[in-house]
């Protein structure tokens, strides 16, 4: 390293002042020569003597002065070094490789090492590797949060080049210096972090607790005991919230407002919301156990926003079937519980109210577009046909949005192809639907409430008026700002819901046999021939469709399968692996068939007929994507399992998709998910 030192600044000007004065006198002497030769010669002699003395003093005194300045700077630097050595903040200097070359007392005390410690900084703080240090690149300084021996630190590292250090000197100028050092300061934030955590723990969270089946439970209890049942439930909820140092206020006969500290929410998470199970133990002769739903809002910008989060959370909990807790924050939604099947409501009041609202919306528009989910199934298409009939009865132009015709719905579509009773644009594609979308168009979405998997997600943004009718449990992603939303997870199918709405939309509404067949088919397929998730209203809807012209024999013929599909399903069943003595896992190899995912779903249903099987999972590799169909009867909630893997669905019928994953790897993910959830007592 080559160093050339010279004076600069005021010191340099002071040392060269006599030379500048001599030059000025030289110009004066020239002027004197013009006036008098003798006087000019006299002044010239004086200048010669002056320059001789001045130059001698300049060159003699400069090294001496430089040495004095260096000595002063050294002494001054020693004072600075001592102050830095005794600085209360841990500090060290690193070379360009991250090796410690100097430490102060506080740093030595922190790492319990004496003077001369020269190992790499990463040996003390493994998270600060060499590539994270400021170096040759554009990064001049950086900072990291560290934990050392239970203490929290903020490490600030700054690159200091030697040229930069000398450029700040007011006396000495050093050019052509190369290399750099790294200064590291450690600011302890342990107390600050504890204080911030305490503040965060004491922040308030809003919650809502709803009794899912309040009326039904009271009806199953003797009249003289009903008040006692209500009192016992209220006492259990109030006592539980009071044990968490919270406030619980009953706002309606079956609704509670809860205020809790955030720290208490962590306790609820740790106990997996045991209140959900505790309430079910209240029994004084009631035939039906009471279940509750809990919605909690956290980390909002204000208490009002937390309450809004709680309202959204309780809506999600109820929309997913109740008997569960939902925690909503600005960034995430977390579900707990949900192990009970939602009880079917016998009253049709809600269906009638929704039907009248739907009629008002349709009559206020000129056109109705009906859309289901991507890769539509029989239930989706049948429900769309039912909405089409409502729109036509109300004398409105209607179209069903459908891009891809799967083999499962092809027999139904053929009922309307070349049928003089239906227009040529009875079914339209995405591009044409977007052209029709506008202020005077209402979009009705059936059999799906997740916007990303609808037939045409862009259509949701093009239509200002959107109606949602679905029977799937809601997840974190929902269609927002819907004009009318009718989501009932207890319904067996979307066709069942539309069948009920049909009866209340228009007096003595008449539907054609083809439409009745489609809707009856949707109920039949989704209930696995009325074996799964059927209630009183399911059979009532089927009876209405039967009276309207649906033919059971005709429907059965529509869905007869060919030998190849039957063999593929049988092959999937025969190769099933029984995992943990309770779960059937199999692979459906039907790539050469038109709808292999449908075959996989049917195989999953078949596997439930094996004794001891609580849930079945069938994987189908189709077009580079793994489709997983999950089914159960009543003991396992397959929806929460599929949600862990990025999917969703019902408690007994769910699915998910995995891209960029092989079949063997996907089976491993299913098994690991089951193991984890079994350990956490989630299933």
**CATH ID of 205-337, from 3.30.930.10, 3.40.50.720, 3.30.70.270, 3.30.450.20:** 3.30.70.270
CATH classification code of 87-195: 3.30.450.20
- CB-based burial, 571-586: b 16+ in 10 Å, e otherwise: bbbeebeebeeebbbb
CATH topology of domain 563-679: Diaminopimelate Epimerase; Chain A, domain 1 (3.10.310)
- Does residue 92 contact residue 78 with C-beta atoms inside 8 Å? no
pTM of the model: 0.58
Which of 680-683's residues contact partners 24+ apart within 8 Å by CB, and which partners?
680/272, 681/272, 682/640, 683/339, 683/615, 683/636, 683/637, 683/640, 683/641
Half-sphere exposure of 410 (CA within 13 A, CB side): 9
pLDDT for position 347: 63
Q: Which of 89, 87, 84, 103 is nearest to 155 (CA)?
A: 89
At residue 248, the 3 state secondary structure works out as strand
pLDDT for position 71: 61
CATH topology of domain 349-558: inorganic pyrophosphatase (n-terminal core) (3.90.1640)
| Whole-Å CA distances, 486 to 272, 353, 465, 482 | 30, 10, 14, 10
In sequence order, what E strands does 189-227 have? 204-211
Q: Cβ–Cβ contacts within 10 Å for residue 131, how many?
A: 8
Domain ranges in the chain are 5-84, 87-195, 205-337, 349-558, 563-679
For the chain, list residues with pLDDT below 70: 1-11, 14-15, 62-80, 136-138, 162-178, 338-347
CA 327 – CA 272 distance, rounded (Å)? 12
| Whole-Å CA distances, 350 to 347, 486, 504, 541, 564 | 8, 9, 11, 15, 44
């Amino acid at each position: 390293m080559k160093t050339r030192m010279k004076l600069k600044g005021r010191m340099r000007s002071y040392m060269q002042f006599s030379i500048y004065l001599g030059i000025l006198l030289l110009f004066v002497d020239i002027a004197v020569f013009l006036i008098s030769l003798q006087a000019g010669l006299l002044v010239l002699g004086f200048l010669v003597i002056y320059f001789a003395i001045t130059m001698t003093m300049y060159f003699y005194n400069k090294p001496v002065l430089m040495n004095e300045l260096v000595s002063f700077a050294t002494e001054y630097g020693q004072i600075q070094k001592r102050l830095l050595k005794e600085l209360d903040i841990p500090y060290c200097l690193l070379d360009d490789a991250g090796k410690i070359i100097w430490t102060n007392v506080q740093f030595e005390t922190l790492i319990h090492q004496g003077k001369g410690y020269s190992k790499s900084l990463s040996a003390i703080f493994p998270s600060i590797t060499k590539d994270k240090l400021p170096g040759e690149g554009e990064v001049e300084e950086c900072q990291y949060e560290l934990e050392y021996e239970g203490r929290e630190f903020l490490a600030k590292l700054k690159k200091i080049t030697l040229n930069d250090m000398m450029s700040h000197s007011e006396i000495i100028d050093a050019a052509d210096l190369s290399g750099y050092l790294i200064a590291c300061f450690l600011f302890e934030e342990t107390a600050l972090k504890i204080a911030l955590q305490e503040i965060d723990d004491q922040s308030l969270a809003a919650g809502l607790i709803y009794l899912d089946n309040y009326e039904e439970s009271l009806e199953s209890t003797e009249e003289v005991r009903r008040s006692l049942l209500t009192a016992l439930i209220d006492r259990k909820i109030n006592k539980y919230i009071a044990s968490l140092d919270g406030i619980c206020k009953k706002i309606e006969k079956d609704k509670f407002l809860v205020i809790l500290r955030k720290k208490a929410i962590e306790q609820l998470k740790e106990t997996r919301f045991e209140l959900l199970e505790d309430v079910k133990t209240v029994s004084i002769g009631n035939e039906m156990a009471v279940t509750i739903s809990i919605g909690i809002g956290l980390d909002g910008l204000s208490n009002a926003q937390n309450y809004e989060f709680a309202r959204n959370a309780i809506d999600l909990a109820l929309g997913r079937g109740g008997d569960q807790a939902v925690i909503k924050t600005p960034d995430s939604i977390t579900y707990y519980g949900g192990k009970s099947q939602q009880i079917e409501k016998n009253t049709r009041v809600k269906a009638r109210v929704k039907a009248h609202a739907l009629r008002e919306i349709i009559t206020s528009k000129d056109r109705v577009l009906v859309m289901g989910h991507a890769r539509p199934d029989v239930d989706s298409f049948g429900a769309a046909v039912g909405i089409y009939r409502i729109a036509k009865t109300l004398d409105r132009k209607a179209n069903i949005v459908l891009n891809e015709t799967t083999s499962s719905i092809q027999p139904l579509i053929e009922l309307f192809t070349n049928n003089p009773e239906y227009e040529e644009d009875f079914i339209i594609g995405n591009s044409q639907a977007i052209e029709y979308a506008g202020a005077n168009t209402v979009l009705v979405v059936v059999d799906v409430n997740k916007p990303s998997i609808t037939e045409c997600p862009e259509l949701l943004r093009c239509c200002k008026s959107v109606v949602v009718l679905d029977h799937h449990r809601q997840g974190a992603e929902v269609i927002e700002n819907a004009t009318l939303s009718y989501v009932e997870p207890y319904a067996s199918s979307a066709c069942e819901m539309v069948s009920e709405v049909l009866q209340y939309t228009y007096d003595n509404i008449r539907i054609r046999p083809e439409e009745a067949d489609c809707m009856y088919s949707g109920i039949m397929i989704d209930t696995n021939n009325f074996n799964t998730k059927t209630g009183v209203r399911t059979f009532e809807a089927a009876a209405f469709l039967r009276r309207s012209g649906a033919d059971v024999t005709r429907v059965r013929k529509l869905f007869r399968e060919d030998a190849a599909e039957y063999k593929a399903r049988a092959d999937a069943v025969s190769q099933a692996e029984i995992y943990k003595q309770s779960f059937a896992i199999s692979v459906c190899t039907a790539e050469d068939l038109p709808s292999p995912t449908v075959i996989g779903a049917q195989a999953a249903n078949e596997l439930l007929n094996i004794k001891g099987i609580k849930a079945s999972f069938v994987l189908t590799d189709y077009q580079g994507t793994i489709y997983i169909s999950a089914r159960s009867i009543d003991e396992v909630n397959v929806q929460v399992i599929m949600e862990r893997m990025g999917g969703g669905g019902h408690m007994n019928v769910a699915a998910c998709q995995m891209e960029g994953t092989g079949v063997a790897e996907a089976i491993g993910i299913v098994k690991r998910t089951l193991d984890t959830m079994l350990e956490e007592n989630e299933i």
